[in-house]
Amino acid sequence: MRKKKLIAAVLMGLVVAGAVFAQDEWTIENALDMVWLFLGAALVFIMQVGFALVETGLTRAKNATNIVMKNLMDFCFGAVVYWAIGWGLMYGADALGGLVGTSDFFKNIMDDPGYYRDWFFQVVFAATAATIVSGAMAERTRFKSYLLYTCFISAFIYPISGHWVWGGGWLSELGFHDFAGSTVVHSVGGWAALMGALVLGPRVGKYVKCADGKVSVRAFPGHSMPLAMTGVFLLWFGWYGFNGASTLSGSSPDIARVCVTTTLAAASGTIGALFTSWVWFKKPDASMSMNGALAGLVSITAPCGVVSPAASIVIGLVGGILVVLSVEFIDKVLKIDDPVGASSVHLTCGIWGTLAVGIWGNVEGVAVGALHGGGAAQLGVQALGVVSVGAWAAITSLVLFLIIKATVGLRVNQKEELQGLDITEHKADAYAGFQIFSNT
Amino acid sequence: MRKKKLIAAVLMGLVVAGAVFAQDEWTIENALDMVWLFLGAALVFIMQVGFALVETGLTRAKNATNIVMKNLMDFCFGAVVYWAIGWGLMYGADALGGLVGTSDFFKNIMDDPGYYRDWFFQVVFAATAATIVSGAMAERTRFKSYLLYTCFISAFIYPISGHWVWGGGWLSELGFHDFAGSTVVHSVGGWAALMGALVLGPRVGKYVKCADGKVSVRAFPGHSMPLAMTGVFLLWFGWYGFNGASTLSGSSPDIARVCVTTTLAAASGTIGALFTSWVWFKKPDASMSMNGALAGLVSITAPCGVVSPAASIVIGLVGGILVVLSVEFIDKVLKIDDPVGASSVHLTCGIWGTLAVGIWGNVEGVAVGALHGGGAAQLGVQALGVVSVGAWAAITSLVLFLIIKATVGLRVNQKEELQGLDITEHKADAYAGFQIFSNT
Amino acid sequence: MRKKKLIAAVLMGLVVAGAVFAQDEWTIENALDMVWLFLGAALVFIMQVGFALVETGLTRAKNATNIVMKNLMDFCFGAVVYWAIGWGLMYGADALGGLVGTSDFFKNIMDDPGYYRDWFFQVVFAATAATIVSGAMAERTRFKSYLLYTCFISAFIYPISGHWVWGGGWLSELGFHDFAGSTVVHSVGGWAALMGALVLGPRVGKYVKCADGKVSVRAFPGHSMPLAMTGVFLLWFGWYGFNGASTLSGSSPDIARVCVTTTLAAASGTIGALFTSWVWFKKPDASMSMNGALAGLVSITAPCGVVSPAASIVIGLVGGILVVLSVEFIDKVLKIDDPVGASSVHLTCGIWGTLAVGIWGNVEGVAVGALHGGGAAQLGVQALGVVSVGAWAAITSLVLFLIIKATVGLRVNQKEELQGLDITEHKADAYAGFQIFSNT
């Protein structure tokens, strides 16, 4: 979809509707697209504070300043490097047969509203991929090392696989469909989150070997459920821009379908996680329910434009169940310490949502979903995208974190971790004046 | 208004502008309507977190997780049942002479952008009516019973009276005017809130009989004024979508009037409650001022499209004074324990705003308001709507709560209530690590 | 309006393309402008809660209710007086050779969508100027005195200098360029903030004379970094409306440039303040970084429509460095106690941003910036605007605060200040139930 538009603009050098305009050709349709993408991007921007609040609320008070600082900084550093480098790798002139973009670095012209508009809409997606990781690496990562990581994912990791799908690269040529980024954004962020948590190792006291040789798994409860829930609602709100404005056109009637499927999948994802936790843990768990809402949203992100309301309810529901299973699996079986469940929400459900296109999808009037009589071809392409983008994101982020660990160091020392990163990294309490129990 | 559109589509089977489109007839005006209603609905969605924060902030820390969970769940369950059942009862083909809609249940088609668009805009209104109730029933309602209630109001209670006014039913035939829902949304939620609080009974320790036979009324202060105020601002922000996009058309110049009257009424409502509390209680009370802002907003919701700026200031001011009187009356005289004043804000001011149309209204160029020389006819119709919708909502919600009480039970036991619902219902503190005083 | 549309559809059985208007001059371009300015104004409105949270988070828990109340009230009182008086002074018929507007007070007509639309967009700017001040005067100002101040700035001070620039007054005649209000809004609020803090004097215990005659400067840490950061993100989000919709037209391709320059300047401002604090104070300071984001945003507000991406990065970066220097200078050298750094953010960076137009600006195709070969003429006009608007705002607000101080009094007494304004002014704790240390 996006790909075709960009290929047309780049390869043929034509002034194409939706890509590059001289100002006097700025029609009312162009104007509506501009307003639509601007407001959609602003909605996606608000997801930054949604992530900040979910991650802060679900972790401990002694690290609250550190987390919100990381969330602020990944947007700020990400925006500058995505302007300088990332945009060119993702949407520059294609090279190496669909592997990478190679032009438009440090793009600095005064009159190209099409470029400006598209850059603004894309930078907030890049920042979303980057910020997913901060939750998984919470409570033990050195601040300056996090800044290094975030520059690399926004400048190189995210844009290159993004080029494959949205920049006219090889996966788009094969017909891979990812409407708003279950794979392009969420799985990439989710893989980096999982690799980051793996390389960092668990928080002090998380997995304790008992006398009988068994490992006891400790839960660290979050310090503010109201802030976490506020974050969930703000993420959901912002997701309407994330999915809705991914039509890239304010004149597309598909906007209407996207908002319905997004709403229903988020709702059913919440319900799925609520009941799964209720049956399994004998309580309607708050943090699982919140992750269920996000799970439904991640799951519907790829298929939101190409499935029916009933299918969206099923996709969300499965996502909500999957996220609980995944959190338990990563925590109890893999014993990787992801404090907020970011890898389960964004990676597990990102994969699920991408595959769902191949199960229920109806792309531009053609039933491609396996359960819609479309055969297995689309499902195969979707799986190929999941595996190839996943391999790219997992390997590059693993190497990145290993290099950072071996050079400047990735983790604070144990004393700093126990004291809390707010004091040791930023020399400021998050909640001056409040009596807060030492919570190891 | 909306009714005629639907009647036209349904009875004559015509493709009418604004209701059902084939995609190739999707004009730029259709596109602007889509963008407008999409963004308006997203703004209304943000009111969910506004309600969550107001209600959490104005109640005690030990119930904070429970409240935000209820606010999340009433949207999620509400969205699914409103898709399955509610939409059909509200906007389906009219039956029984304007009493109920009877088609379009579980509506699951791929290509009907008009339906998708309208459903998204309507579901957020349904969720608003449902979520009003959670505040009035805070701090003592069993979680699973609340889920039952919320399914019923979104599936049956709200849609049926909604059909009367916005779905082409009998009240719309009589000329009842409720632009954005002072009655359709707020009074319905307000009646259910009052009935819920009544059936539940007051919180432990709220009304204590003293030695002299008098009843001492205790106030339980809220645990976070900053969160409550954040909720008020987010509700106000979302209300611009609630009132503004109720034009149902992005091409309507009435949008302009709506935003001015909404702003001025909210401002004067706040000022009215501030001074009333200052004179009466000798202090500029924060929670009353916040309720004053909401009172102004509820009051202007019905008349926002049909009154002048000066009238909107008066409507808001009276709403702000009324809400203080109503809170005191319900608390001290009726002795119904509504922890956040939801019934005063939404019911009392919902009634006031609906009547205000008959006092100052100028509907489509015709002065119908009694003080504008329009006689008493419109005022009579407005009163009829208030009474009939009120009777429906009060009786059905009363019966619903009594049935829930008699079967699964509506209220936690006293020990659970004293301990707080976060621990007893969800097994998690809202503020792990913080020292919080036992506050009864 | 709707009625006519529907009558057309129903009675004539015609398919009407989405719009029939009584004001038949209301074109689709007018409609898009309306939607754009409405949503832009709603975004600016959300900045009110952004200010409330930044100011609350960066001050002490014992004054939290008082601050959020002041932020609510300055919008409410401001809206009413700006409708009654301010609008007429700013946009009424020009008098005295460009000095003041003199018509349209208490404007109360039913059918003027252009007026309604413009008023709504302007009132949120007026409220922004007013609310800047509450942070600088935090923790010691009498509530009723603050209400007096806020009525005066919204009714008189802001509108009159606003007339000079945006109302067709003498500065606009000279070619002074302030796209979205670095001077018109932020410097005016910043001057009033500085004058308010000066007249009030420092908080008890802020500057203590030691035995050796030196003055020890005490820092009062803020009580909630997560709330403060939430405020920063919401301000940034709202700033997209502040700058973006200042095109005043939804059909302007300039919207595209504005969103890119706004994003990059905010990002580089954050980075500038982060590194400045890191080098200077040996820590990546959270409150400085947050002020850096706001500094970048204030700095780009005047030039956002007329500079390139690279220039916007430089403008933001310098703003981020300047804000740290300015905070230290005002606090340590001038010894004026501005608890949240409001005057540094809005005044210092407001001046810088206004001058930046004369350095890098390219106004409507003409390179006016000194570094773009435009000579010093524009820079001179920009400086003239800074000085003249600054003199007006500084003198009038100084006189206003001195009069309030001499009559009703401006400051609470020392005992009240030590106890906290929540209890003494509003008789309510902000955080009932929480254990909060006496923090002087």
Cβ atoms within 10 A of the Cβ of B70, count?
28
Say what the pLDDT of residue A11 is.
Answer: 36
Instruction: Say if residues C269 and C297 touch (Cβ distance below 8 Å).
Output: yes
A61–B435 CB contact, under 8 Å: no
DSSP three-state, residue C209: strand
Q: pLDDT-based confidence at A9, cuts 50/70/90?
A: very low
Tokens of C214: 């030196």
A298-352 pLDDT per residue, tens: 999 999 999 999 999 999 999 999 999 999 999 999 999 999 999 999 999 999 9
Place of tokens 């976060």: B422
Distance CA B195, CA B193 (A): 6
Phi, psi for residue B94 in degrees, rounded to 5 = -65, 145
Measured between CB atoms, which of A38, A106, A426 is closest to C286? A426
Tokens of A197: 């948590």
Instruction: Say if residues B432 and A223 touch (Cβ distance below 8 Å).
Output: yes
SS3 per-residue string spanning B164-176 = HHHCCCHHHHCCC
Q: Among B38, B112, B125, pick the best mutation site for testing chain A contact (most A Cβ within 10 A).
A: B38
Q: Among C12, C35, C111, C150, pick the best mutation site for testing chain B contact (most B Cβ within 10 A).
A: C35
DSSP 8-state class, residue C434: B
Tell me if C333 is assigned to some domain: yes
A29-66 pLDDT per residue, tens: 999 999 999 999 999 999 999 999 999 999 999 999 99
B33–C18 CB contact, under 8 Å: yes
Tell me if C378 is assigned to some domain: yes
pTM over 0.90: yes
Question: Does residue B300 belong to the interface with chain C, where contact is any CB pair within 8 Å?
Answer: no
Nearest alpha-carbon partner for B36 in B222, B246, B308, B257: B246
| Residues of B with Cβ-Cβ distance to C143 under 8 angstroms | 284
List of residues 6+ apart from A287 with CB closer than 8 A: A58, A222, A225, A228, A341, B428
Distance CA A297, CA A232 (A): 11
Distance CA B342, CA B287 (A): 12
Element (H, E) at A121: helix A113-136
List of residues 6+ apart from C157 with CB closer than 8 A: C188, C192, C392, C393, C396, C397, C400
At A292, which amino acid appears? Answer: G
Chains in contact with C, counting 3 or more C-beta pairs less than 8 Å apart as contact? A, B
Q: For all residues of chain C together, what is the average pLDDT?
A: 91
Most distant pair of Cα atoms in chain C: their distance: 92
C223–A56 CB contact, under 8 Å: no
Q: How far is A432 from chain C (nearest CA, A)?
A: 5
Say what the pLDDT of residue C362 is.
Answer: 87
C237-275 pLDDT per residue, tens: 999 999 999 999 999 999 999 999 999 999 999 999 999
Phi, psi for residue B101 in degrees, rounded to 5 = -90, 150
C200-234 pLDDT per residue, tens: 999 999 999 888 888 999 999 999 999 999 999 99
Q: How far is A415 from chain C (nearest CA, A)?
A: 18
Instruction: Say if residues B129 and B153 touch (Cβ distance below 8 Å).
Output: yes
pLDDT higher than threshold 60 for residue A3: no
List of residues 6+ apart from A53 with CB closer than 8 A: A227, A228, A230, A231, A234, C226, C230
End-to-end distance of chain C based on CA atoms, in angstroms?
60
Give the ipTM. 0.93
- Where in the sequence is the domain holding B171, given as residue range(s)? 31-200+221-426
Question: Does residue C244 belong to the interface with chain A, where contact is any CB pair within 8 Å?
Answer: yes
C271-303 pLDDT per residue, tens: 999 999 999 999 999 999 999 999 999 999 999
Q: For strands C100-101 and C207-209, give the pairing.
A: unpaired
Beta strand extents in C225-356 (DSSP E only)? none
**Given phi > 0 = left and psi -120 to 50 = alpha, else beta, which region is B263?**
alpha
Question: Does residue B7 belong to the interface with chain C, where contact is any CB pair within 8 Å?
Answer: yes
A130-158: burial string, b at 16+ Cβ within 10 Å, e else: bbbbbbbbbbbbbbebbbbbbbbbbbbbb
Question: Does residue C405 belong to the interface with chain B, where contact is any CB pair within 8 Å?
Answer: no
Say what the pLDDT of residue A438 is.
Answer: 60
Tell me if C245 is assigned to some domain: yes
Q: Among C34, C70, C145, pick the best mutation site for testing chain B contact (most B Cβ within 10 A).
A: C34
Measured between CB atoms, which of C28, C52, C432 is closest to B29? C28
End-to-end distance of chain A based on CA atoms, in angstroms?
50
| Residues of C with Cβ-Cβ distance to A83 under 8 angstroms | 264, 309, 313
Q: How far is C261 from chain A (nearest CA, A)?
A: 9
List of residues 6+ apart from A248 with CB closer than 8 A: A1, A2, A5, A18, A33, A37, A121
Distance of CA A164 to the CA centre of its chain: 17
B310-334 pLDDT per residue, tens: 999 999 999 999 999 999 999 999 9
A439–B430 CB contact, under 8 Å: no
Instruction: Say if residues A298 and A182 touch (Cβ distance below 8 Å).
Output: yes
**Mean pLDDT to the nearest integer, A287-291:** 97
Beta bridge partners of B436: C434
Question: Does residue C11 belong to the interface with chain B, where contact is any CB pair within 8 Å?
Answer: no
Say what the pLDDT of residue C440 is.
Answer: 52
DSSP 8-state class, residue A361: -
SS3 per-residue string spanning B328-371 = HHHHHHCCCCCCCCHHHHHHHHHHHHHHHHHHHCEECCEECCHH
Nearest alpha-carbon partner for A297 in A359, A227, A369, A349: A349
Tokens of A26: 């700025």
Tokens of A280: 């399994």
Measured between CB atoms, which of B237, B285, B434 is closest to C426? B285
CATH (domain of A300): 1.10.3430.10
Nearest alpha-carbon partner for C427 in B231, B437, B277: B277
A264–B83 CB contact, under 8 Å: yes
B29–C18 CB contact, under 8 Å: yes
**Given phi > 0 = left and psi -120 to 50 = alpha, else beta, which region is B158?**
alpha
HSE-CB for A431 with a 13 A CA cutoff: 22
Distance CA C192, CA C402 (A): 12
Question: Does residue C64 belong to the interface with chain B, where contact is any CB pair within 8 Å?
Answer: yes
Q: What stretches in chain B show pLDDT beneath 70?
A: 1-24, 438-440
DSSP-assigned states of every residue in A9-36? HHHH----TTT---GGG--HHHHHHHHH
DSSP three-state, residue A341: coil
- How far are the Cα atoms of A116, A143, A167, A272, B321 from residue A112, in angstroms, in the given order? 6, 37, 18, 46, 53
Q: How far is B423 from chain A (nearest CA, A)?
A: 10
| Residues of B with Cβ-Cβ distance to A435 under 8 angstroms | 434-435
Q: pLDDT-based confidence at A24, cuts 50/70/90?
A: low
Distance CA A358, CA A356 (A): 5
Q: pLDDT-based confidence at A257, cuts 50/70/90?
A: very high
User: Taking each helix axis from N to C terminus, what angle separates C64-81 and C113-136, rounded to the nearest 10 degrees?
Assistant: 150
Say what the pLDDT of residue C24 is.
Answer: 56
Say what the pLDDT of residue B111 is.
Answer: 85
Q: For all residues of chain A together, what is the average pLDDT?
A: 92
Say what the pLDDT of residue B367 is.
Answer: 85
- Which residue in chain C is spatially nearest to B311 when comparing CA positions? C108
pLDDT higher than threshold 80 for residue A275: yes
The domain total for chain C is: 1
Say what the pLDDT of residue C5 is.
Answer: 39
A221–B429 CB contact, under 8 Å: yes
List of residues 6+ apart from C295 with CB closer than 8 A: C269, C272, C273, C316, C319, C320, C322, C323, C344, C345, C348, C349
Q: Among C54, C229, C431, pick the best mutation site for testing chain B contact (most B Cβ within 10 A).
A: C431
Tell me if A26 is assigned to some domain: no
Distance CA C401, CA C394 (A): 11
**Given phi > 0 = left and psi -120 to 50 = alpha, else beta, which region is C438?**
beta
Tell me if B437 is assigned to some domain: no
Tell me if C439 is assigned to some domain: no
Tell me if C138 is assigned to some domain: yes
Question: Does residue C1 belong to the interface with chain B, where contact is any CB pair within 8 Å?
Answer: yes
DSSP three-state, residue B67: helix
Tell me if B206 is assigned to some domain: no
C240–A38 CB contact, under 8 Å: yes
Residue, of C235 and B15, whose pLDDT is higher: C235
- Which residue in chain A is spatially nearest to C363 when comparing CA positions? A110
pLDDT higher than threshold 70 for residue A239: yes
Distance CA A47, CA A297 (A): 12
Question: Does residue C77 belong to the interface with chain B, where contact is any CB pair within 8 Å?
Answer: yes
Say what the pLDDT of residue C275 is.
Answer: 98
